[in-house]
Amino acid sequence: MTPGGTSGAPGVVVVTGVGRYLGAHVAARLAADPRIERVIGVDAPDSGTEFTDLLDRVERIRVDSGSLGGLLADLDVDAVVHLALVTSPDPQHGGRSAMKDQNVIGSMQMLAACQRAPRLRKLVVRSSTAAYGVSFRDPAVFTEETEPREVPRGGFGRDILDLEGYVRGFRRRRSDVTATVLRFAPFIGSTADTTLTRYFSQPFVPTVFGRDPRLQFLHFDDALEVLHRSIVEDHPGTYNVAGPGVLSLSQAIRRAGRVAVPVLEPGLSGAAALARTMGFGRYGLDQVDLFVHGRVVDTSRLEQEYGFTPRSTAEAFEDFIRAHHGGVVVTRDQLAAAEQLVLDGIRQVRSAVRERSS
């Protein structure tokens, strides 16, 4: 195995956000690992029951984040995986204010609880490459040391900056805990259901006029692998987690066989703001900014420290396309056929002309 070995595997692991897709899969995967004795899934009291069959080996506790402190101390927790983040406001569940409650207040309470847990040795926090903010003066490729130049306009980006600030404070106060911050690129994969996968599943995809952002994706299975390794091995620090390589948005849309509909940027921002206030759609300024600026990160630190390279952005996207071929407008075969048709047409006309003249 990679450096760290199995010696770092903790006995009792708490996973937050098991009511959501990522949390449920991580908890199930950790529960299947024989080195880990107990996996406890923590979730908000009002969370759904979508993933109960996945979580049959996970002890589930429904508790609101305020009373988490006593719980972590009582359970003799060794490690905490904090995944309870909301990436986009969900109008059915309180919109942006509920999102901020969960991302910022929830994380603060989580970290406060961790600080008081005496046996805690390890903390793994899900962050996002949105932590780099967006600016026109940004370098093309972000390394973990790059500081954000401007505070992002989107809610999620701001939440992530706050969250990382709290984790820095936690590191200072509990230097004995191995804290790992994973900055994930947007997830994609055959089964994942995220804002971006919904975006690329539409037949006609809105883009920003005159911009062709560079995007990176992370295959969902690779995200699970990295989270798993972060728990059973020791990798203190902050890591970019993304599929190597780059797809430009126009290229991704073409590969998926969709049709891009360029929209002027002020119009798109306005539409995003309108959609948010009217309470429909999940696109926000986070997405608009991503589609103006793009975001590419350097993953060499992850590859060195974890000894693991996620599958490339192009492969991850290919996997997504295979699973979502439903809304395809133009396929490659159709394009190839059209090419043949034109070539044949030209030849036929020319030979006909030649026949007549000879």
Partner 1 sequence: MSGPEEGRDPQSVGRFDVPQQVPAPDAEPARRNGHRPAAQAAPTPTAPPVSSAPPTPTPTPTPARTPAGEVDAALPGGTEPVVSDRPGDHWDRKVANGLAFLRRRLSGDYEVDEFGFDAELTDAVFHPLLRLLYRDWFRTEVSGVQHVPVDGPALVVGNHSGTVALDALILSAALHDKHPAHRYLRLLGADLVFRMPVVSELARKTGGTVACNPDAERLLGGGDLVGVFPEGFKGIGKLYADRYKLQRFGRGGFVSAALRTGTPIVPVAIVGGEEIYPMLADIKPLARLLKLPYFPVTPTFPLLGPLGMVPLPSKWLIEFCPPIPTAHLTDSADDPLVVFNLADQVRETIQQTLHTLLERRPDPFGP
Site for partner 1 contains 332 (CB under 8 A): yes
Q: Which stretch binds partner 1 (CB under 8 A): 67-75, 81-89, 247-255, 281-289?
A: 247-255
- 55, 247, 272, 316: which one binds partner 1 (CB under 8 A): 247
Beta partners for 181? Answer: 125, 238
Q: By CB under 8 A, tell whether 136 contacts partner 1.
A: yes
- Which position has the token pair 């990295």? 226
Q: Does 150 sit near partner 1 (CB under 8 A)?
A: no
Q: Taking the complex as a whole, how short is the minimal distance between the CB of residue 325 and partner 1, in angstroms?
A: 14
Q: Which of 140, 176, 278, 357 contacts partner 1 by CB under 8 A?
A: 140
Using CA atoms, how far apart are residues 251 and 279, in angstroms rounded to an integer?
Answer: 31
Q: Residue written as tokens 């075969």?
A: 333
- What residues between 27 and 66 interact with partner 1 by CB under 8 A? none
Contact yes or no for 215/295 (Cβ under 8 A): yes
Report d(CA 28, CA 51) in Å as an integer: 10
Helix 220-232 and helix 21-31: axis angle, to 10°?
50
Task: Show contacts with partner 1 in window 253-272 (CB under 8 A).
Answer: 253-255, 257, 265
Contact (Cβ atoms closer than 8 angstroms) between residue 91 and residue 283: no
- We find the least distance from the C-beta atom of residue 103 to partner 1, in angstroms, to be 29
Number of residues in contact with partner 1, rule: CB under 8 A?
A: 49
Least distance between partner 1 and beta carbon 345 (Å): 11
What is the per-residue binding string for partner 1 in 193-222, x denoting contact by CB under 8 A? Answer: ---------------xxxxx-x--------
| Strand runs labelled E in the chain | 12-16, 38-43, 59-62, 79-82, 122-128, 178-184, 187-188, 204-208, 214-215, 218-219, 237-241, 247-248, 259-263
In sequence order, the 6+-apart residues with CB closer than 8 A to the CB of 55 are 18, 24, 27, 28, 31, 41
Q: Which residues bind partner 1 (CB under 8 A)?
A: 136-141, 143, 146, 208-212, 214, 245-248, 250-255, 257, 265, 294, 296, 330-333, 335-340, 342-344, 346-348, 350-352, 354-355
